[in-house]
Amino acid sequence: TGGSRHTGLAAPPHRNIHWADTSASVNQDALEAVYAEIRGAIEQFNGKIKGKLGFFDTDVTTPISFENINELEKIIPYGGGGTDFTVVFHYIKSNMKHDLPSVIIIFTDGYGLFPEEADILDIPVLWLIDNEDVNPPFGKVARLRKAQQ
């Protein structure tokens, strides 16, 4: 029977993975903007966006799954060192090779060591950068506006 009711069971799971830069150059306002952007996406799609959120500086945290805003807001940032984007892609290659994300979204100020494009495993990358100064060598870039004081 071909009704129009959508149960979500036949649809592939959303495999968005968000990584937030928690290096020393990223302040609390920038981290709050990360959560605001993800909350906005969840609200825009009526709560149907699921994903994982992890943090990185020169190391990564294990990404934590979220299915709604309440779960998202329970995820605590961790970090404070330098910035090395290669650790994100090494983590994915080592720990997610059998369930690769459909997109990688990286919130950052962009100041750090970028991997070679060959290391991104043909996964689309969206860089959400809070300045106009940094241009990553691959992927798409969106500029986040800093909150006005």
Condensed to tens digits (0 to 9), the pLDDT of residues 116-130 reads 988 888 999 999 999
| Residue 106, pLDDT score | 96
| Residue 140, pLDDT score | 96
DSSP H or E stretch at residue 91: helix 86-95
Tally Cβ neighbours within 10 Å of residue 25.
Answer: 16
What pLDDT digit, counting tens, does each position of 17-54 carry? 999 999 998 888 888 989 998 998 888 888 878 899 99
Residues 123 and 92: beta-carbon distance below 8 Å? yes
Tally Cβ neighbours within 10 Å of residue 98.
Answer: 5
